[in-house]
Amino acid sequence: MKTLRSYVCGGWHEAGSGFATLVDPSTEEEIARASSAGIDFGAVLDYARERGGPALRAMTFAQRGQILKEMSRLLREHRDELLELSARNTGTTKPDGSFDIDGGSGTLAFYSAQAKRLGDVRFLVEGDGVQLAKTEAFWAQHVLVPRHGVAVHVNAFNFPVWGFAEKAACALLAGMPVVTKPATATAMVTERAVEIMVEAGILPDGALQLITGSTGDLLDRLGPQDILAFTGSADTARSLRTRDNLLAACTRVNVEADSLNAAVLGPDVTGGATLDFFLRDVFREITQKAGQKCTAVRRILVPAERADEVQEALSSRLAAVVTGNPADGAVTMGPLATAQQLEDAVRGVAELRRSARLVHGTGERADGAGAPEGKGFFFPPVLLRADDSRNAGVIHEREVFGPVATILPYDGGAAAAAEIVAQGGGMLVTSVYSDDAGWLGEFLARASSSQGRIYLGNQESAAEGFGSGAAIPQALHGGPGRAGGGEELGGLNGVKLYMQRLALQGSRALVDELAAGMEKTS
Ligand code: NAP
């Protein structure tokens, strides 16, 4: 069994105790163990602050972008190996693994291109300067500088490569050193990705460190210049963001958490390309990565008179899903990643059934194709329906992190749809399918403020839309309220998380001189 290592203080650390065991979720075979025992987390932070930070800040955006370009290239070069590891450690089919790994290399490539555009400067100048007094003798200009701390990244189990890469891309580009901590259960894939980068020697000393296993007292040591970026469950987020030292130092904390994302079918859509698009997207969002995506569709709003038809169409697509070991070529959906996720999904569907009825699937574990009988965390797709959409309580509160969604009939009005969607308490994304701009306008006016992203499906976008679940680097990823309140990606917005904005005030001549060479960001 492989022992996963951490990469800290310029070397690989192998623990001698306190191991958690990682298993292949299709066979339950033990494949690796991980522990961070023995790491001196104070030294990890010092190493990043004293070595990685200064080295990155001495580089220009263009130079930092070169590092991201190399990181992206290495992920592409080792894609097959990482896909194989992902199948073993996270149970992904090839397309699902590629969503993670190619998503990671694509995001790094995107930010390296942004860096090239920013050029040979080290700070960002934001917007136009403004005259403050009678003349230009007193002037102000906003600038952004890298924070002199450490970016600590705590990631969820479902995106071991993308999660690491999308956060690291933004922090490194901003000029902050990274300490990345993948979820232990799927750390094997991240460990290898980091190992590939370390072996290639593309990063300055201290710019990237990896913790496999627990964070020990790392988070207790964070201070005012550090950033904690967390992705995971709302419960863990609450316990992390309320730590005394983080509150006392006002450490910047960015949270990406649960989300009860909705897909809404507009009343005008009775067939054609938009309806096909809606069905295709919703089906993908239920089954991709076995529903273990923060952006997966959990609630499906359909005009009441069309609910039976949509239920039938989705059920027949879900019935064709082959759940099993991705090593079997016939399999189209892999297992859940861990025994704990399986247990939670079974319990979650039982809870949803308090407000909804099962219309497809059982909500129980099943044997998987190509896997030993009785082994594997297989959980075939589940479709539920709650006819009293407004009073469906738990459907608007409980995220079941698996291939599970609920049909919620509504009266076809934009106001009703917006009101029902908002019951989710803050979403990463809501997708809306309609060709009626008037109806969409009313929906947006009522529903937008509870969303991080609104994905509009119509006849035109049907041909090229990526699917509502794809978090792409050009567009904001994050959402208000229950979704964590965080903001990642979205072009340079994601980089600014790691920078300090300040207003530079003085005479225009001096301010302009100091800001000279800095890149305009808007
Ligand atoms: P989780 O149990 O909250 O764990 C997330 C991360 O936090 C893991 O790395 C975990 O490490 C770490 N962690 C847990 N307790 C900690 C503590 N006391 N101190 C420091 N680190 C701690 O979530 P998960 O089960 O991995 O992920 C599933 C959840 O993530 C779902 O609810 C999903 O919606 C959400 N998610 C959100 C997004 C988004 O972008 N909004 C993306 C993906 C997933 P260990 O593994 O070592 O415990």
Residue 155: CB within 6 Å of ligand 1? Answer: yes
pLDDT for residue 399 is more than 80: yes
pLDDT for residue 223 is more than 90: yes
pLDDT for residue 414 is more than 90: yes
Residue 294: CB within 6 Å of ligand 1? Answer: yes
Residue 126: CB within 6 Å of ligand 1? Answer: no
Give the residue numbers marked as catalytic.
256, 294
Please list, in sequence order, all residues whose beta carbon lies within 8 angstroms of the beta carbon of residue 392, skipping any fewer than 6 positions away.
355, 356, 386, 406, 408, 423
Q: Residues 41-53: pLDDT tens digits?
A: 999 999 999 999 9
Å from CA of 253 to ligand 1 middle: 14
Residue 255: CB within 6 Å of ligand 1? Answer: no
At 365, phi and psi to the nearest 5? -65, 150
Return the percentage of the chain with pLDDT > 90, whole number: 94
User: Which residues of the chain form CATH 3.40.309.10?
Assistant: 262-473
- Residue 406 or residue 464, greater confidence: 406
> Cα–Cα distance between 88 and 82 in angstroms, integer?
10
Rounded to two decimals, the pTM is 0.95
Superfamily of domain 262-473: Aldehyde Dehydrogenase; Chain A, domain 2 (3.40.309.10)
pLDDT for residue 413 is more than 80: yes
Residue 401: CB within 6 Å of ligand 1? Answer: yes
Å from CA of 158 to ligand 1 middle: 9
CA of 232, closest atom in ligand 1: 30
> Cα–Cα distance between 386 and 299 in angstroms, integer?
10
- Protein residue with least CA distance to atom 32, ligand 1: 233
pLDDT for residue 517 is more than 70: no
pLDDT of amino acid 516: 76
Q: Residues 177-186: pLDDT tens digits?
A: 999 999 999 9
pLDDT of amino acid 98: 94
Using pLDDT thresholds of 50, 70 and 90, give the confidence band for residue 518.
Answer: low
CATH of domain 2-120+149-225+233-257+485-497: 3.40.605.10
Rounded mean pLDDT of 489-508?
96
CA of 255, closest atom in ligand 1: 41
Residue 233: CB within 6 Å of ligand 1? Answer: yes
Please state whether 102 falls in left (phi above 0), alpha (psi between -120 and 50) or beta: alpha
Q: Residues 288-337: pLDDT tens digits?
A: 999 999 999 999 999 999 999 999 999 999 999 999 999 999 999 999 99
Å from CA of 229 to ligand 1 middle: 11
pLDDT of amino acid 520: 57
Q: Among 110-114, 430-434, 464-468, which is the least confidently predicted range?
A: 464-468
Among candidate residues 52, 14, 11, the one with its CA nearest the CA of residue 34: 14
CA of 488, closest atom in ligand 1: 40
Q: How far is CA 154 from CA 219, 235, 286, 401, in A?
A: 10, 14, 25, 18
User: Which residues of the chain form CATH 3.40.605.10?
Assistant: 2-120+149-225+233-257+485-497
- Protein residue with least CA distance to atom 31, ligand 1: 233
Of 154, 427, 453, 476, the residue with max ligand 1 atoms within 8 A of its CB, to mutate for a pocket test, comes to: 154
pLDDT of amino acid 462: 87
- Protein residue with least CA distance to atom 46, ligand 1: 183
Q: Which residues of 334-353 are buried (b: 16+ CB within 10 A; e: fewer)?
A: bbbbbeebbebbbebbeebe
- Residue 30 or residue 119, greater confidence: 30
Residue 404: CB within 6 Å of ligand 1? Answer: no
Residue 179: CB within 6 Å of ligand 1? Answer: no
pLDDT for residue 522 is more than 60: no
What's the whole-number average pLDDT of the chain? 96
pLDDT of amino acid 365: 98
pLDDT of amino acid 463: 86
Return the percentage of the chain with pLDDT > 70, whole number: 99
The number of beta carbons lying within 10 Å of the beta carbon of residue 78 is 18
Q: Residues 115-169: pLDDT tens digits?
A: 999 988 888 999 999 999 999 999 999 999 999 999 999 999 999 999 999 999 9
pLDDT for residue 40 is more than 90: yes
- Residue 462 or residue 205, greater confidence: 205
pLDDT of amino acid 521: 56
pLDDT of amino acid 78: 98
Please list, in sequence order, all residues whose beta carbon lies within 8 angstroms of the beta carbon of residue 428, skipping any fewer than 6 positions away.
256, 259, 261, 294, 295, 451, 452, 453, 471, 477, 478, 479, 483
pLDDT for residue 274 is more than 90: yes
Rounded mean pLDDT of 360-381?
97
Q: How far is CA 308 from CA 302, 312, 510, in A?
A: 9, 6, 68
pLDDT for residue 225 is more than 80: yes
Among candidate residues 269, 260, 259, the one with its CA nearest the CA of residue 440: 269
pLDDT for residue 466 is more than 90: no
> Cα–Cα distance between 412 and 267 in angstroms, integer?
5
CA of 218, closest atom in ligand 1: 20
Token duo for residue 387:
């006819």
pLDDT of amino acid 519: 58
